[in-house]
A and B are shown apart, each in its own frame.
Chain A
Amino acid sequence: MAEVKKIATRDSYGNALVELGKEHADLIVFDADLAGATKTGIFKKAYPERHFNCGIAEGNMMAAAAGASTMGLVPFASTFAMFAAGRAFEQIRNSIGYPHLNVKIGATHGGISVGEDGASHQCCEDFALMRTIPGMVVMSPADDVEARAMVKAAYEHVGPVYMRFGRSAVPVCHQEEGYTFRIGKGEVLQDGTDVAIIANGLLVAEAIEAGKALKELGISAQIINMATIKPLDEELVLSAARGCGKIITCEEHNILGGLGEAVCGLLSEKYPVPVRRIGVNDEFGHSGPAAALLKQFGLCAEHIVEVAKDMCR
């Protein structure tokens, strides 16, 4: 079997911006001294007159992007997830969310896979923070193909969007040809009947691996990629609950406030079934290589398999 191609979704983000920039002169980019890391630097190289470095001042960047959007432009504002959703939360809430402005937030370095920089930079709270803002779309792509399509969908969507991209290279699990992405629509990657595994971000590739291992064990797992955390694809979650009766959620995020709780919130009201949430268990991360950290925090196929086995016993 050929080796699977791996690409970090932050690279996909930068590349997608360049592609979009070709067609749309109203697309501008803001960054906060992290253009090299967020990959908006790729856009800057192509369109220097449309890339605005705001310096290390994320609050001003978000509100300035809000102002620019009122003029009819479509600003993409980028920094690390910690400083976008975290530091600039209130600017996003009041200057972007409340007026429902057409600003796209491209937040990179989400989750524990930031690795060596440690807990101060490992944002595991962004889904929770962004979900609580009315009208905000919150998304996290699984791979390069989905990430690039997501950026285009975000541009076309009228209203605020938060996208979380990763630092580490992740396997490309989608075929480019014939692929379409729709905001708010989950994707069934594998049908199954015993347990439904609903994942996003880099946990999707792990869920696919887990699905294969479970098959060997005689457990039929439905694998769902839920790239949009808000608005949640309720229909798909409910059909998974009806079909499998058991759900596992997987995300590179605190188990509080993210995909897992969104799924639990829906199911507890409309179709209660047992749910197990795989994520960061309300603790801070620490320094280390990304792959090792993901294993240590149980954000890996092996742990998903263990949880599924336990649920299906």
Chain B
Amino acid sequence: MTAQEKKQLMAMACRVRMGAIEGVHSAKAGHPGGSLSAADLFTYLYFKELRIDPGNPHWADRDRFVLSKGHTAPGLYAALALRGFFPQQDLLTLRQIGSHLQGHPNMNETPGVDMSTGSLGQGVSAAAGMALAAKYQGKDCRVYALLGDGEIQEGQVWEAFMFAHHYKLDNLCLVIDNNGLQIDGAVADVMSPYPIPEKLRAFGFEVAEIDGHDFEQMEDAFAKARQTKGVPFAIVMKTIKGKGVSYMENNAGWHGKAPNDQEYEIAMQELRAQLAEVEGM
């Protein structure tokens, strides 16, 4: 990755974070914490990794992305808008009556959304089904899914892991957003899913452990995923919930709460400052 490319991704990630915050603030509801922890991943996927065409969102041979942790839709929507799937001003209609931006992703309403999700644990199964179908059809497209670390408490997730390994879905790449927090507190306290990489390896996955806010590590991990044959791949990324907004960072209270006007101003100021810093690099 060139320095210029890294800088562009970092700047875009700031814009994705701003879009997520704008949406949640406008809706007066939504999930900023996990949108921000995954903002770098959304950026990397939509601006570097995925084979997609915003002008043709139903292109049959496109790569698929399933947001299994569907509540972090504000982050996904911001990335889709910035990538050109729909106008950025739509982000301000999030969760409003008549908006195509539902509280959780709706594949039939939002251009670029490949699967309706929101009920935790189901998106990963859908992604596995897509990967299986692609193999049966002889398509070379790849399927990606993002799961929360709290989400993997759902038993169905492990059913999907077994399925992915059993059918040798090496066209499937799962990402676990290990921000360490869920609604009721630390995942370790609520119902520990740890150790996550070891469990995934035991289920037959090839695993990469990365810093989810480091694009170079992401590039290496996704390259490794593409080269892995015969088994599915999982990236366990350590992240900071609320990353980029000081008062939201590592605070479970910001899992599903919108900032008020004052908090919004602070968040946007911080993000604008980060963007200016990146652009000045």
Contacts and interface: CB of A to CB of B under 8 A. Distances in A.
A245 interface: no
A98 interface: yes
B156 A55 contact: no
A168 to B, nearest CB: 31
A70 B125 contact: no
Given A99-B106, A99-B116, A70 B122 contact: no
A289 interface: no
Interface stretch (B86-94, B131-139, B195-203, B255-263): B131-139
A35 interface: no
Contact of A70 (B106, B130, B162): B130
Contact of A60 (B66, B118, B133, B160): B160
Interface residues of B, number: 35
A71 B134 contact: yes
15 contacts: A55-B159, A55-B162, A57-B156, A60-B162, A64-B163, A67-B131, A67-B133, A68-B133, A71-B134, A71-B139, A73-B133, A91-B125, A98-B116, A99-B106, A99-B116
Nearest to A65: B129
A66 B129 contact: yes
Given A66-B129, A72-B60, A57 B115 contact: no
A35 to B, nearest CB: 15
B136 A73 contact: yes
Given A57-B159, A59-B156, A71 B137 contact: yes
Contacts of B136: 28, 49-50, 73
Interface residues of A, number: 30
Interface of A: 28, 49-50, 52, 54-55, 57, 59-73, 75, 90-91, 94-95, 98-100
Contacts of B134: 71
A42 B166 CA distance: 22
Contacts of A91: 119, 122, 125, 156
A57 B157 CA distance: 10
A79 to B, nearest CB: 13
What 9 A-B pairs are tightest by C-beta distance, nearest first? A67-B129, A64-B129, A63-B125, A67-B126, A60-B159, A57-B159, A71-B133, A68-B133, A99-B116
Contacts of B114: 70
A52 B119 CA distance: 24
Contacts of B156: 57, 59-60, 63, 91
A73 B133 CA distance: 7
Interface of B: 60, 64, 66, 106-108, 114-116, 118-119, 121-123, 125-134, 136-137, 139, 155-156, 159-160, 162-163, 166-167
A54 to B, nearest CB: 6
A100 B125 CA distance: 17
A99 B119 contact: no
B172 to A, nearest CB: 10
Contacts, number: 109
A62 B155 CA distance: 14
Given A28-B136, A55-B162, A64 B125 contact: yes
Given A64-B163, A99-B116, A70 B60 contact: no
A90 B119 contact: yes
B132 A68 contact: yes
Contacts of A55: 159, 162-163, 166
A221 B63 CA distance: 59
Contacts of B125: 59-64, 66-67, 91, 95
Contact of B163 (A50, A57, A94, A100): A57
A123 B64 CA distance: 36
A100 B132 CA distance: 20
Nearest to A28: B136
Contacts of B127: 67
A60 B123 CA distance: 10
A165 to B, nearest CB: 23
Contact of B128 (A67, A72, A94, A99): A67
A52 B132 CA distance: 9
B126 A52 contact: no
Given A57-B163, A60-B156, A70-B107, A94 B129 contact: no
A49 B133 CA distance: 11
A94 B122 contact: yes
